[in-house]
Amino acid sequence: MERENHYRALLALQLVPELGPRRIKLLLEKTGVKDASEIFGLNLNEILRIDSFGKQVAKNILQFDSWKKVDKILAQTEKSGAFLVAVDDPHYPALLRHIYDPPALLWVKGKREALNLDGIAVIGTRRPGKYGIEQAQLWVRKLTDSGLCINSGLAYGIDAIAHREALNSGGKTVAVLGSGIDVIYPAKNSHLVHRMIENGGAVITEYAPGSAPDAVNFPERNRIVSGMSHGVLVAESGIKGGSMITARSALDQNREVFVVPHRLNYPGGEGCNYLIKTGQGKLIQNLSDVLDEISVQAGDVSKKAEPVSKKWETMELGEDEKLICSLLNQCELHIDQISEKTGRQAFTLLPILLDLEMKGAVKQKAGKYFELC
């Protein structure tokens, strides 16, 4: 019952005007509550003490009275055959939890375990050419054969091809919807949804049951596709569109971007070539170009590594530098893990880590993992 109250309260927070995923994350972090229903028992001053919370937002929380709507959504969730996964649940995608604005709740159909499989997002245009289709199929086969899960957005074109090829290759795949869990869009891909669930994958969304596939939802959906993945592979993309938005989300989230190069003067591949030209994506030619960057072969990065040297202890370091080194003294860590353990945002840590690299105390490994020298 306690967990049900937690889900109910998280859902209520998602309905509070002007709140949004980022502020919900801050609320949970700063208040330290284990049951989100406790937030509705806070007073105005307690909420105002949290950064970025003004009086209007705080009042919106305290004056929330749409509990009947919350319970209606929960009933729709049960009727649809879906279940909820909260941001603090063990089955919530671990990588997604660390992005700037993770969804507080996910609606899920399929296997919970699929949400934390090592995965790569494979994305691209809705109207690919022959070369783009062939490359998407080729790379999905290579990635699934190496044990990676394929994540994508179920859209026409490259997304659907990626899901289908993963299934045909015996792999796992996860689709992220820009609509409610009971509103499969495009409907033509419903058969793919059934296949991926039957084969141990999952379909997820941050939108409540009954939510239409509105255009504004898809850029938001894209941050989940990239956020839950170790990297994003762009098979074919023009200079504008959803794939480029996803690639930018990946870069903002410290994810790797892998790009299939295209022939010159082909409009459908201009986005891919632009990402390579500007250094925002890595041109890929063989599987090692991907695997060498994402460090998934090393297994669980939380496991203790071999004993490391104490070189950093002999250096003159600032307090922040010492804190980071003491964390890395136990094991190598991803930038997002360092962010979680220090309570600092990743962009504020990267300059400190760069200084530590220059001093010879720390080295960066593939996939933005760090370890002591």
123 lies in a domain?
Answer: yes
What is the structure's pLDDT at 1? Answer: 63
**Do 51 and 157 meet the contact criterion of CB atoms below 8 Å apart?**
no
97 lies in a domain?
Answer: no
Q: Which amino acid is at 222?
A: N
For residue 208, the domain's CATH number is 3.40.50.450
For residue 325, the domain's CATH number is 1.10.10.10
Of 190, 220, 188, 226, the C-alpha closest to 205 is 220
Instruction: Kindly state whether residues 248 and 318 are assigned to the same domain.
Output: no
Domains identified in the chain, total number: 3
Among 49-58, 118-127, 279-288, the least confident range: 49-58
- Mean pLDDT on 106-123: 97
The distance of Cα 361 from the centroid of its chain, to the nearest Å, equals 30
150 versus 354: which is more confidently predicted? 150
In this predicted structure, the answer to whether residue 370 has a pLDDT above a threshold of 80 is yes
Instruction: Kindly state whether residues 352 and 261 are assigned to the same domain.
Output: no
For residue 48, the domain's CATH number is 1.10.150
276 lies in a domain?
Answer: yes
> What are the pLDDT digits (tens) for 298-327?
333 333 334 444 678 888 888 899 899 888
- Mean pLDDT on 241-265: 94
Instruction: Kindly state whether residues 122 and 263 are assigned to the same domain.
Output: yes
Structural domain span for residue 16: 2-65
> What are the pLDDT digits (tens) for 10-65?
999 999 999 999 999 999 999 989 899 999 999 999 999 998 899 999 999 999 99
294 versus 177: which is more confidently predicted? 177
**163 vs 179: CA distance, rounded Å:** 18
242 versus 302: which is more confidently predicted? 242
